[in-house]
A and B are shown apart, each in its own frame.
Chain A
Amino acid sequence: EAGVTQFPSHSVIEKGQTVTLRCDPISGHDNLYWYRRVMGKEIKFLLHFVKESKQDESGMPNNRFLAERTGGTYSTLKVQPAELEDSGVYFCASSQETRGQSDTQYFGPGTRLTVL
């Protein structure tokens, strides 16, 4: 079974540019999550999709971040315009359920974003 995949693995952009990160969850997982780890800090929740619907976007830092999951399959996270403080590793995770033993979140390898 293929795991969660993310693209690109690393992105270097200049302040003010736009970057789009992509996540492909495990097949059949309706739940998709985005997290971010800024250097030296803890991994922080950004948002949660159930299929194509945003269930919880309480962790999104501001309106420069836009997440979509059209068709309920892969998801994109766009940062526009990027700022220096957006640098970090962006993780995607997916799960089959949100309760019980099957709600384990499986993580992708992350996208390292560097804003210069």
Chain B
Amino acid sequence: AQSVSQHNHHVILSEAASLELGCNYSYGGTVNLFWYVQYPGQHLQLLLKYFSGDPLVKGIKGFEAEFIKSKFSFNLRKPSVQWSDTAEYFCAVKAGTALIFGKGTTLSVSS
């Protein structure tokens, strides 16, 4: 069955620390991958997406993700987090026209 697994439920970091959020997917078709973010009180926003080509994808606000086909992974990274990155992060794979989401990872950044 198609699924997305996010390894960490809650991550707590200090400002300037590096971030890596894990995402593994299970899907047999052509892979389109996404990371969405939901800041407190706001709606889901697209951080970045992978369709094809360069497996290292750069998104908004200094985030990037690397698609590793052999590991079925699409981990999200940021070299130095800020307090404003406190949010919930969702990894998703596109199956047909629907998005299949992971359970989300809550990131708390302390200043």
Residues on A close to B: CB < 8 A? Answer: 3-4, 31, 33, 35, 41-45, 48, 55-56, 58-59, 91, 93, 98, 100-101, 103-110
CB distance from A92 to the nearest CB of B (A): 10
Residues on B close to A: CB < 8 A? Answer: 4, 32, 34, 36, 42-46, 49, 51, 90, 94, 96-104
How many residue pairs link A and B with beta carbons under 8 A? The number is: 51
CB distance from A110 to the nearest CB of B (A): 7
Would you call B101 and A42 a contact (CB within 8 A)? yes
Would you call B103 and A42 a contact (CB within 8 A)? yes
Would you call A100 and B51 a contact (CB within 8 A)? yes
Would you call B98 and A56 a contact (CB within 8 A)? yes
> Can you list 8 A-B contacts with CB-CB less than 8 angstroms, sorted by A residue number?
A33-B98, A33-B99, A41-B103, A45-B98, A48-B97, A56-B97, A100-B51, A103-B32
| Given known A91-B44, A106-B46, contact A43–B51 (CB-CB < 8 A) | no
Q: Which A residue's beta carbon lies closest to that of B36?
A: A107
Kindly identify which residue among A44, A98, A108, A109 contacts B97, using a CB–CB cutoff of 8 Å.
A98
Q: How far is the CA of A93 from the CA of B98 in the complex (A)?
A: 11
Contacts of A109 in B (CB 8 A): 42-43
Q: How far is the CA of A41 from the CA of B100 in the complex (A)?
A: 12
CB distance from A101 to the nearest CB of B (A): 6
Contacts of B94 in A (CB 8 A): 103
Q: How far is the CA of A89 from the CA of B32 in the complex (A)?
A: 25
Contacts of B32 in A (CB 8 A): 103
Would you call A43 and B97 a contact (CB within 8 A)? no
| Given known A41-B103, A42-B103, A43-B90, contact A59–B98 (CB-CB < 8 A) | yes
